[in-house]
Structure 1
Amino acid sequence: MGLEVESRSSDSPYIERVWRSTSSGGLDRMTSVAITCGELVVWEHRGQVSVAVRGPETKASAAPVPEDATFFGITFSPGSWMPHLPFHRLVDRYADLPDATRRSFSLKGSTWRLPDYDNAEAFVRRLAREDVLDRDPVVAAVLRGESPGLSERTVQRRFVAATGLTRVAIRQIERARRAAVLIQEGTPIPDVIDRLGYFDQPHLARSLTRYIGRTATRLGDGDPVEPLSLLYKT
Protein backbone atom coordinates (compact mmCIF):
# COMPACT_ATOMS: atom_id res chain seq x y z
CA MET A 1 0.00 0.00 0.00
CA GLY A 2 1.24 3.53 -0.73
CA LEU A 3 3.86 4.47 -3.29
CA GLU A 4 6.37 2.06 -4.77
CA VAL A 5 9.40 3.71 -6.39
CA GLU A 6 12.17 2.19 -8.51
CA SER A 7 15.08 4.10 -10.02
CA ARG A 8 18.38 3.59 -11.77
CA SER A 9 21.40 5.58 -12.84
CA SER A 10 22.37 6.07 -16.48
CA ASP A 11 25.54 6.22 -18.54
CA SER A 12 24.07 9.00 -20.69
CA PRO A 13 25.67 12.42 -20.12
CA TYR A 14 22.18 13.92 -20.49
CA ILE A 15 20.52 11.81 -17.78
CA GLU A 16 20.88 12.03 -14.02
CA ARG A 17 18.31 9.37 -13.14
CA VAL A 18 15.51 7.26 -14.60
CA TRP A 19 12.63 6.35 -12.30
CA ARG A 20 9.15 4.89 -12.18
CA SER A 21 6.53 4.49 -9.48
CA THR A 22 3.07 3.12 -8.81
CA SER A 23 0.54 4.40 -6.31
CA SER A 24 -2.07 2.36 -4.51
CA GLY A 25 -4.65 2.95 -1.80
CA GLY A 26 -3.94 4.56 1.55
CA LEU A 27 -1.86 7.50 0.32
CA ASP A 28 -3.22 10.94 -0.49
CA ARG A 29 -0.06 12.99 -0.92
CA MET A 30 3.71 13.01 -0.79
CA THR A 31 6.43 15.55 -0.12
CA SER A 32 8.18 16.64 -3.29
CA VAL A 33 11.72 17.59 -2.30
CA ALA A 34 13.79 20.31 -3.96
CA ILE A 35 15.69 19.24 -7.06
CA THR A 36 18.23 21.07 -9.22
CA CYS A 37 17.47 19.37 -12.54
CA GLY A 38 14.61 19.40 -15.01
CA GLU A 39 12.57 16.30 -15.73
CA LEU A 40 10.34 14.76 -18.36
CA VAL A 41 7.46 13.08 -16.50
CA VAL A 42 4.79 10.73 -17.83
CA TRP A 43 1.84 9.54 -15.76
CA GLU A 44 -1.37 7.61 -16.33
CA HIS A 45 -4.48 7.72 -14.16
CA ARG A 46 -7.86 6.22 -15.01
CA GLY A 47 -6.85 5.78 -18.63
CA GLN A 48 -5.70 9.37 -19.06
CA VAL A 49 -2.05 9.84 -20.05
CA SER A 50 -0.24 13.10 -19.32
CA VAL A 51 3.27 14.27 -20.18
CA ALA A 52 5.03 17.31 -18.78
CA VAL A 53 8.44 18.95 -18.55
CA ARG A 54 9.17 20.01 -14.98
CA GLY A 55 11.70 22.63 -14.05
CA PRO A 56 13.92 22.65 -10.96
CA GLU A 57 12.19 22.94 -7.59
CA THR A 58 13.71 25.32 -5.08
CA LYS A 59 11.79 24.16 -2.01
CA ALA A 60 9.89 21.20 -0.66
CA SER A 61 6.17 21.11 -1.32
CA ALA A 62 3.19 18.80 -0.86
CA ALA A 63 2.11 16.94 -3.99
CA PRO A 64 -1.14 14.97 -4.43
CA VAL A 65 -0.86 11.28 -5.26
CA PRO A 66 -3.84 9.91 -7.21
CA GLU A 67 -4.82 6.35 -6.36
CA ASP A 68 -3.84 3.57 -8.78
CA ALA A 69 -1.65 5.77 -10.97
CA THR A 70 1.64 4.99 -12.69
CA PHE A 71 4.49 7.45 -13.14
CA PHE A 72 7.69 7.46 -15.17
CA GLY A 73 10.38 10.10 -15.30
CA ILE A 74 13.70 11.03 -16.85
CA THR A 75 15.67 13.38 -14.62
CA PHE A 76 18.09 15.31 -16.81
CA SER A 77 21.66 15.87 -15.70
CA PRO A 78 22.82 19.30 -14.47
CA GLY A 79 23.45 21.48 -17.51
CA SER A 80 21.07 19.56 -19.80
CA TRP A 81 18.15 21.63 -20.97
CA MET A 82 15.60 22.22 -23.70
CA PRO A 83 16.27 25.54 -25.46
CA HIS A 84 12.62 25.91 -26.53
CA LEU A 85 11.48 25.22 -22.92
CA PRO A 86 14.27 26.89 -20.92
CA PHE A 87 14.38 25.87 -17.29
CA HIS A 88 14.79 29.45 -16.09
CA ARG A 89 11.13 29.87 -17.12
CA LEU A 90 10.08 26.65 -15.40
CA VAL A 91 11.62 27.04 -11.93
CA ASP A 92 8.98 25.67 -9.51
CA ARG A 93 6.69 25.17 -12.49
CA TYR A 94 5.97 22.69 -15.28
CA ALA A 95 4.79 22.73 -18.88
CA ASP A 96 2.18 20.22 -20.06
CA LEU A 97 2.95 18.65 -23.44
CA PRO A 98 0.00 18.22 -25.82
CA ASP A 99 -1.61 15.26 -27.60
CA ALA A 100 -0.50 12.67 -25.05
CA THR A 101 -1.72 9.10 -25.56
CA ARG A 102 -0.44 5.71 -24.44
CA ARG A 103 1.76 5.66 -27.53
CA SER A 104 2.89 9.21 -28.27
CA PHE A 105 2.88 12.91 -27.45
CA SER A 106 3.87 16.19 -29.11
CA LEU A 107 7.11 18.02 -28.42
CA LYS A 108 8.47 21.00 -30.34
CA GLY A 109 6.00 20.49 -33.17
CA SER A 110 6.79 16.79 -33.71
CA THR A 111 5.18 13.54 -32.59
CA TRP A 112 7.34 11.38 -30.31
CA ARG A 113 6.80 7.82 -29.15
CA LEU A 114 6.29 7.63 -25.42
CA PRO A 115 9.56 6.59 -23.73
CA ASP A 116 9.71 4.02 -20.97
CA TYR A 117 12.00 2.86 -18.18
CA ASP A 118 14.11 0.64 -20.46
CA ASN A 119 14.54 2.85 -23.54
CA ALA A 120 15.10 6.25 -21.88
CA GLU A 121 18.65 6.51 -23.23
CA ALA A 122 17.59 5.90 -26.84
CA PHE A 123 14.82 8.47 -26.47
CA VAL A 124 17.22 11.09 -25.06
CA ARG A 125 19.78 10.40 -27.79
CA ARG A 126 17.11 11.27 -30.35
CA LEU A 127 16.21 14.44 -28.42
CA ALA A 128 19.85 15.53 -28.59
CA ARG A 129 20.27 14.50 -32.22
CA GLU A 130 17.27 16.57 -33.26
CA ASP A 131 18.36 19.60 -31.18
CA VAL A 132 15.46 19.36 -28.75
CA LEU A 133 17.85 18.72 -25.86
CA ASP A 134 21.17 20.50 -25.36
CA ARG A 135 23.88 20.32 -22.74
CA ASP A 136 26.28 22.94 -21.39
CA PRO A 137 29.50 21.13 -20.41
CA VAL A 138 30.66 24.13 -18.37
CA VAL A 139 27.93 23.52 -15.78
CA ALA A 140 28.89 19.89 -15.28
CA ALA A 141 32.59 20.75 -15.15
CA VAL A 142 32.12 23.44 -12.50
CA LEU A 143 29.96 21.15 -10.37
CA ARG A 144 32.77 18.58 -10.53
CA GLY A 145 35.10 21.22 -9.12
CA GLU A 146 36.95 21.92 -12.36
CA SER A 147 37.98 25.37 -13.52
CA PRO A 148 36.39 26.26 -16.88
CA GLY A 149 38.77 29.14 -17.60
CA LEU A 150 35.89 31.63 -17.77
CA SER A 151 35.01 34.68 -15.73
CA GLU A 152 32.74 34.23 -12.72
CA ARG A 153 30.12 36.39 -14.41
CA THR A 154 30.13 34.20 -17.51
CA VAL A 155 29.89 31.03 -15.45
CA GLN A 156 26.99 32.40 -13.47
CA ARG A 157 25.16 33.44 -16.63
CA ARG A 158 25.58 29.97 -18.13
CA PHE A 159 24.36 28.31 -14.93
CA VAL A 160 21.18 30.35 -14.91
CA ALA A 161 20.60 29.83 -18.65
CA ALA A 162 21.01 26.05 -18.47
CA THR A 163 19.53 25.27 -15.06
CA GLY A 164 17.43 28.26 -14.02
CA LEU A 165 19.39 28.35 -10.75
CA THR A 166 22.55 29.99 -9.48
CA ARG A 167 25.54 27.88 -8.58
CA VAL A 168 25.02 28.71 -4.89
CA ALA A 169 21.39 27.57 -5.00
CA ILE A 170 22.38 24.30 -6.66
CA ARG A 171 25.00 23.60 -4.00
CA GLN A 172 22.59 24.35 -1.17
CA ILE A 173 19.90 22.05 -2.56
CA GLU A 174 22.33 19.23 -3.34
CA ARG A 175 23.88 19.50 0.12
CA ALA A 176 20.45 19.19 1.75
CA ARG A 177 19.63 16.16 -0.40
CA ARG A 178 22.92 14.51 0.57
CA ALA A 179 22.23 15.28 4.23
CA ALA A 180 18.80 13.66 3.98
CA VAL A 181 20.26 10.51 2.43
CA LEU A 182 22.94 10.27 5.13
CA ILE A 183 20.38 10.71 7.91
CA GLN A 184 18.13 8.06 6.39
CA GLU A 185 21.13 5.74 6.32
CA GLY A 186 21.64 6.27 10.05
CA THR A 187 24.59 8.68 10.01
CA PRO A 188 24.73 10.62 13.32
CA ILE A 189 23.69 14.28 13.05
CA PRO A 190 27.08 15.65 14.24
CA ASP A 191 28.81 13.63 11.53
CA VAL A 192 26.42 14.96 8.86
CA ILE A 193 27.08 18.53 10.01
CA ASP A 194 30.83 18.03 9.93
CA ARG A 195 30.94 16.11 6.65
CA LEU A 196 28.79 18.54 4.68
CA GLY A 197 30.02 21.80 6.16
CA TYR A 198 26.96 23.03 8.04
CA PHE A 199 27.65 25.60 10.76
CA ASP A 200 25.64 23.83 13.44
CA GLN A 201 22.47 21.81 14.02
CA PRO A 202 20.07 24.78 13.57
CA HIS A 203 21.72 25.51 10.19
CA LEU A 204 21.15 21.89 9.14
CA ALA A 205 17.58 21.99 10.45
CA ARG A 206 16.71 25.10 8.43
CA SER A 207 18.18 23.58 5.29
CA LEU A 208 16.30 20.29 5.70
CA THR A 209 13.01 22.02 6.42
CA ARG A 210 13.28 24.28 3.38
CA TYR A 211 14.58 21.82 0.80
CA ILE A 212 13.44 18.41 2.06
CA GLY A 213 10.35 19.30 4.07
CA ARG A 214 11.43 17.16 7.01
CA THR A 215 13.22 17.52 10.31
CA ALA A 216 16.18 15.27 10.97
CA THR A 217 14.08 13.29 13.45
CA ARG A 218 11.34 12.59 10.88
CA LEU A 219 13.94 11.63 8.30
CA GLY A 220 15.46 9.14 10.69
CA ASP A 221 12.10 7.66 11.67
CA GLY A 222 10.58 7.56 8.18
CA ASP A 223 7.05 8.72 7.37
CA PRO A 224 4.83 6.15 5.60
CA VAL A 225 1.84 8.50 5.74
CA GLU A 226 3.50 11.15 3.56
CA PRO A 227 6.59 9.72 1.83
CA LEU A 228 9.29 11.73 0.11
CA SER A 229 9.88 11.96 -3.60
CA LEU A 230 12.97 10.27 -4.97
CA LEU A 231 16.19 10.77 -3.02
CA TYR A 232 19.40 9.12 -4.17
CA LYS A 233 23.14 9.34 -3.68
CA THR A 234 24.86 11.81 -6.01
Structure 2
Amino acid sequence: MTFDAGGGIEQHLSDSPYVERIYRAGSITGPVASRMRSVANSNWELVVWRDRGDTHVSLRGPETGPTVLELGSGPGETLGIIFRHGAFLAPMPMSALVDTAVSSSHATARSFVLQGEEWEIPTYGNADVFVDRLVRAGLLVRDPLVTDVLRGDATTLVTPRSVQRRVAAATGLTQGAIRQIERARQAVLLLQQGMPAIEVVQRTGYHDQPHLARSLIRFIGCTASQLRHADDGEMLSLLYKTEVEVRP
Protein backbone atom coordinates (compact mmCIF):
# COMPACT_ATOMS: atom_id res chain seq x y z
CA MET A 1 0.00 0.00 0.00
CA THR A 2 2.88 2.35 -0.70
CA PHE A 3 1.93 5.51 -2.56
CA ASP A 4 3.45 7.89 -5.06
CA ALA A 5 2.51 11.41 -4.14
CA GLY A 6 3.47 12.83 -7.50
CA GLY A 7 6.82 14.24 -6.42
CA GLY A 8 6.10 14.11 -2.69
CA ILE A 9 7.95 10.81 -2.35
CA GLU A 10 11.66 10.04 -2.13
CA GLN A 11 12.98 6.55 -2.74
CA HIS A 12 16.21 4.68 -3.36
CA LEU A 13 17.43 1.16 -4.04
CA SER A 14 19.30 -0.71 -1.34
CA ASP A 15 22.58 -2.62 -1.43
CA SER A 16 21.10 -5.16 0.97
CA PRO A 17 20.13 -8.52 -0.59
CA TYR A 18 17.08 -8.42 1.70
CA VAL A 19 15.68 -5.05 0.56
CA GLU A 20 14.06 -4.02 -2.72
CA ARG A 21 13.91 -0.30 -1.96
CA ILE A 22 13.33 2.28 0.77
CA TYR A 23 10.97 5.22 0.48
CA ARG A 24 9.64 8.13 2.48
CA ALA A 25 6.87 10.63 1.97
CA GLY A 26 6.23 13.74 3.99
CA SER A 27 3.53 16.36 3.98
CA ILE A 28 2.34 17.10 0.46
CA THR A 29 2.03 20.67 -0.76
CA GLY A 30 -0.39 21.71 -3.45
CA PRO A 31 -3.46 19.77 -4.56
CA VAL A 32 -3.92 16.51 -2.69
CA ALA A 33 -5.74 13.51 -4.12
CA SER A 34 -8.74 12.35 -2.13
CA ARG A 35 -8.31 8.67 -3.07
CA MET A 36 -5.47 6.21 -3.58
CA ARG A 37 -5.71 3.20 -5.87
CA SER A 38 -3.54 0.57 -4.22
CA VAL A 39 -2.62 -1.78 -7.04
CA ALA A 40 -1.57 -5.42 -6.76
CA ASN A 41 1.94 -5.86 -5.36
CA SER A 42 3.97 -9.06 -4.89
CA ASN A 43 6.41 -7.67 -2.28
CA TRP A 44 5.81 -7.20 1.45
CA GLU A 45 6.96 -4.19 3.42
CA LEU A 46 7.40 -2.62 6.82
CA VAL A 47 5.70 0.77 7.07
CA VAL A 48 6.08 3.45 9.72
CA TRP A 49 3.77 6.44 9.62
CA ARG A 50 2.95 9.34 11.89
CA ASP A 51 -0.46 10.90 12.06
CA ARG A 52 -1.44 13.73 14.41
CA GLY A 53 1.36 12.91 16.83
CA ASP A 54 0.83 9.14 16.92
CA THR A 55 3.31 6.64 15.48
CA HIS A 56 2.10 3.46 13.77
CA VAL A 57 4.08 0.48 12.47
CA SER A 58 2.69 -2.31 10.28
CA LEU A 59 3.85 -5.24 8.23
CA ARG A 60 1.93 -5.14 4.95
CA GLY A 61 1.82 -8.26 2.86
CA PRO A 62 1.58 -8.82 -0.88
CA GLU A 63 -1.68 -7.61 -2.44
CA THR A 64 -3.28 -9.78 -5.11
CA GLY A 65 -5.80 -7.19 -6.30
CA PRO A 66 -6.49 -3.45 -6.31
CA THR A 67 -8.31 -1.50 -3.63
CA VAL A 68 -9.37 2.14 -3.54
CA LEU A 69 -8.79 3.97 -0.27
CA GLU A 70 -10.17 7.31 0.86
CA LEU A 71 -7.32 9.53 2.01
CA GLY A 72 -9.31 12.14 3.91
CA SER A 73 -6.97 15.03 4.67
CA GLY A 74 -4.05 13.23 2.97
CA PRO A 75 -1.28 10.89 4.08
CA GLY A 76 1.06 11.90 6.88
CA GLU A 77 4.79 11.33 7.19
CA THR A 78 5.59 7.78 6.03
CA LEU A 79 8.64 5.52 5.85
CA GLY A 80 8.58 2.19 4.03
CA ILE A 81 11.06 -0.67 3.67
CA ILE A 82 10.08 -2.93 0.77
CA PHE A 83 11.64 -6.38 1.01
CA ARG A 84 12.93 -8.44 -1.89
CA HIS A 85 11.34 -11.67 -3.04
CA GLY A 86 12.95 -14.41 -0.99
CA ALA A 87 13.35 -12.38 2.22
CA PHE A 88 10.89 -13.15 5.00
CA LEU A 89 10.38 -13.09 8.76
CA ALA A 90 11.27 -16.54 10.08
CA PRO A 91 8.56 -16.83 12.78
CA MET A 92 5.71 -15.59 10.58
CA PRO A 93 4.17 -17.60 7.72
CA MET A 94 4.18 -15.34 4.67
CA SER A 95 0.81 -16.74 3.63
CA ALA A 96 -0.66 -15.04 6.72
CA LEU A 97 0.38 -11.62 5.36
CA VAL A 98 -1.17 -11.89 1.88
CA ASP A 99 -3.85 -9.22 1.33
CA THR A 100 -3.61 -8.00 4.92
CA ALA A 101 -1.49 -6.06 7.40
CA VAL A 102 -0.27 -6.82 10.91
CA SER A 103 0.22 -3.81 13.18
CA SER A 104 2.74 -3.56 16.00
CA SER A 105 1.13 -4.12 19.39
CA HIS A 106 2.91 -1.03 20.74
CA ALA A 107 4.67 1.85 19.00
CA THR A 108 6.08 5.17 20.20
CA ALA A 109 8.05 7.90 18.44
CA ARG A 110 11.26 5.99 19.27
CA SER A 111 10.45 2.28 19.33
CA PHE A 112 7.97 -0.45 18.42
CA VAL A 113 7.33 -4.09 19.23
CA LEU A 114 7.97 -6.76 16.59
CA GLN A 115 7.59 -10.45 17.35
CA GLY A 116 7.56 -9.72 21.07
CA GLU A 117 10.80 -7.68 21.04
CA GLU A 118 11.33 -3.93 21.16
CA TRP A 119 13.09 -2.32 18.20
CA GLU A 120 14.22 1.23 17.48
CA ILE A 121 12.09 2.98 14.88
CA PRO A 122 14.08 3.03 11.61
CA THR A 123 14.69 6.20 9.64
CA TYR A 124 15.22 6.82 5.95
CA GLY A 125 18.94 7.17 6.63
CA ASN A 126 19.46 4.07 8.77
CA ALA A 127 16.92 1.62 7.32
CA ASP A 128 19.67 -0.70 6.06
CA VAL A 129 21.23 -0.74 9.54
CA PHE A 130 17.84 -1.66 10.98
CA VAL A 131 17.51 -4.51 8.47
CA ASP A 132 21.00 -5.76 9.35
CA ARG A 133 19.95 -5.93 12.99
CA LEU A 134 16.91 -8.01 12.08
CA VAL A 135 19.18 -10.36 10.14
CA ARG A 136 21.72 -10.69 12.96
CA ALA A 137 18.90 -11.43 15.40
CA GLY A 138 17.74 -14.28 13.14
CA LEU A 139 14.36 -12.65 12.63
CA LEU A 140 14.80 -11.80 8.95
CA VAL A 141 16.04 -14.63 6.73
CA ARG A 142 16.44 -15.16 3.01
CA ASP A 143 16.12 -17.97 0.49
CA PRO A 144 18.43 -16.93 -2.40
CA LEU A 145 17.02 -19.67 -4.63
CA VAL A 146 13.68 -17.84 -4.66
CA THR A 147 15.34 -14.63 -5.80
CA ASP A 148 17.25 -16.46 -8.55
CA VAL A 149 14.24 -18.42 -9.81
CA LEU A 150 12.01 -15.36 -10.06
CA ARG A 151 14.79 -13.48 -11.83
CA GLY A 152 14.77 -16.22 -14.49
CA ASP A 153 18.01 -17.96 -13.52
CA ALA A 154 17.66 -21.68 -14.25
CA THR A 155 18.47 -24.23 -11.58
CA THR A 156 18.94 -27.97 -12.07
CA LEU A 157 19.70 -28.93 -8.47
CA VAL A 158 16.15 -28.58 -7.10
CA THR A 159 12.97 -30.25 -8.33
CA PRO A 160 10.18 -28.05 -9.71
CA ARG A 161 7.92 -29.11 -6.83
CA SER A 162 10.55 -28.08 -4.30
CA VAL A 163 11.00 -24.74 -6.06
CA GLN A 164 7.26 -24.11 -5.95
CA ARG A 165 7.15 -24.95 -2.26
CA ARG A 166 10.07 -22.64 -1.42
CA VAL A 167 8.67 -19.74 -3.45
CA ALA A 168 5.32 -20.07 -1.69
CA ALA A 169 6.97 -20.27 1.74
CA ALA A 170 9.15 -17.18 1.14
CA THR A 171 6.58 -14.98 -0.60
CA GLY A 172 3.12 -16.29 0.27
CA LEU A 173 2.38 -16.46 -3.48
CA THR A 174 2.92 -18.86 -6.35
CA GLN A 175 5.44 -18.16 -9.10
CA GLY A 176 2.58 -17.68 -11.54
CA ALA A 177 0.83 -15.11 -9.34
CA ILE A 178 4.04 -13.14 -8.82
CA ARG A 179 4.80 -13.02 -12.53
CA GLN A 180 1.25 -11.98 -13.42
CA ILE A 181 1.29 -9.17 -10.85
CA GLU A 182 4.71 -7.94 -11.91
CA ARG A 183 3.78 -8.05 -15.60
CA ALA A 184 0.71 -5.89 -14.97
CA ARG A 185 2.74 -3.40 -12.93
CA GLN A 186 5.41 -3.18 -15.63
CA ALA A 187 2.70 -2.68 -18.24
CA VAL A 188 1.40 0.30 -16.25
CA LEU A 189 4.88 1.82 -16.09
CA LEU A 190 5.22 1.54 -19.87
CA LEU A 191 1.74 2.94 -20.52
CA GLN A 192 2.51 5.88 -18.23
CA GLN A 193 5.60 6.56 -20.34
CA GLY A 194 3.35 6.88 -23.39
CA MET A 195 4.10 3.53 -25.03
CA PRO A 196 1.23 2.34 -27.30
CA ALA A 197 -0.76 -0.60 -25.91
CA ILE A 198 0.19 -2.89 -28.80
CA GLU A 199 3.88 -2.31 -28.07
CA VAL A 200 3.30 -2.90 -24.35
CA VAL A 201 1.73 -6.25 -25.27
CA GLN A 202 4.85 -7.23 -27.19
CA ARG A 203 7.28 -5.92 -24.58
CA THR A 204 5.66 -7.67 -21.61
CA GLY A 205 4.58 -10.93 -23.23
CA TYR A 206 0.79 -10.64 -23.30
CA HIS A 207 -0.98 -12.64 -26.02
CA ASP A 208 -2.90 -9.65 -27.35
CA GLN A 209 -4.53 -6.39 -26.26
CA PRO A 210 -7.64 -8.06 -24.75
CA HIS A 211 -5.26 -10.15 -22.60
CA LEU A 212 -3.55 -6.95 -21.44
CA ALA A 213 -6.92 -5.32 -20.75
CA ARG A 214 -8.10 -8.23 -18.59
CA SER A 215 -4.85 -8.18 -16.63
CA LEU A 216 -5.07 -4.44 -15.99
CA ILE A 217 -8.63 -4.74 -14.71
CA ARG A 218 -7.71 -7.66 -12.46
CA PHE A 219 -4.51 -6.28 -10.91
CA ILE A 220 -4.74 -2.51 -11.37
CA GLY A 221 -8.50 -1.96 -11.41
CA CYS A 222 -8.63 0.28 -14.48
CA THR A 223 -8.08 0.24 -18.23
CA ALA A 224 -5.17 1.54 -20.32
CA SER A 225 -7.35 4.48 -21.39
CA GLN A 226 -8.16 5.35 -17.78
CA LEU A 227 -4.45 5.23 -16.91
CA ARG A 228 -3.69 7.70 -19.70
CA HIS A 229 -6.46 10.07 -18.58
CA ALA A 230 -5.72 10.06 -14.88
CA ASP A 231 -8.26 11.39 -12.41
CA ASP A 232 -6.75 14.34 -10.50
CA GLY A 233 -8.60 13.17 -7.41
CA GLU A 234 -6.91 9.76 -7.38
CA MET A 235 -3.28 8.65 -7.06
CA LEU A 236 -1.75 5.27 -7.83
CA SER A 237 0.27 3.38 -5.27
CA LEU A 238 4.04 3.34 -5.74
CA LEU A 239 5.17 1.52 -8.90
CA TYR A 240 8.69 0.24 -9.49
CA LYS A 241 10.43 -2.33 -11.68
CA THR A 242 11.79 -5.44 -9.96
CA GLU A 243 14.15 -8.14 -11.23
CA VAL A 244 11.28 -10.59 -11.73
CA GLU A 245 11.27 -12.09 -15.23
CA VAL A 246 7.77 -11.41 -16.54
CA ARG A 247 7.80 -12.97 -20.00
CA PRO A 248 5.91 -16.29 -20.28
Amino acid of the structure 2 residue aligned with 1:185: Q
1:103-118, aligned counterparts within 5 Å?
103-118=110-125
Q: CA deviation at 1:218?
A: 2.0
Q: Which residue of 1 aligns with 2:102?
A: 95
Offset of residue 99 of structure 1: 1.5
Change (3 A) 1:85 1:67: farther
- In the other structure, the counterpart of 2:180 is 172
- With over 3 angstroms needed to count, the CA separation of the structure-2 counterparts of 1:145 and 1:72, relative to structure 1, is same
Residue 66 of structure 1: how far off its partner (Å): 4.5
In structure 2, what residue type is equivalent to 1:112? Answer: W
- What is the CA-CA distance between 1:6 and the residue it aligns to? 2.0
Choose the corresponding residue for 2:143, options 136, 139, 146.
136
Distance in 2 separating the partners of 1:85 and 1:37: 15
Aligned-residue RMSD, C-alpha: 1.7
2:131 paired residue among 124, 129, 134? 124
Q: CA deviation at 1:40?
A: 0.2
TM (normalized to structure 1)? 0.94
**Aligned residue in 2 for 1:184:** 192
Amino acid paired to 1:124: V
> Which stretch has the larger CA shift, 19-28 or 204-213?
19-28
Aligned twin of 1:14: 18
The 5 Å alignment of 1:42-57 reads 42-57=48-63
Counterpart residue type for residue 45 of structure 2? E
Equivalent of 1:67 in 63, 66, 73: 73
Shift of 1:14: 0.5
Change (3 A) 1:29 1:166: same
Aligned-pair CA distance for 1:23: 5.0
- Aligned-pair identity in percent equals 50
Deviations along 1:147-206, one digit per CA (max 9) or x if unpaired, are 232111101100111100000000000000110000001111111001111111111011
For structure 1, list consecutive stretches of 5 or more residues without a partner in the other structure.
Answer: none
Per mean C-alpha deviation after superposition, the further-off stretch among 124-133 and 146-155 is 146-155
Q: Given residue 86 of structure 1, which amino acid in structure 2 is its aligned partner?
A: P
In the other structure, the counterpart of 1:156 is 164
The 2-side partners of 1:9 and 1:231 are apart by 13
Aligned-partner SS, 2:164: helix
- Which is worse superposed, 166-175 or 194-203? 194-203
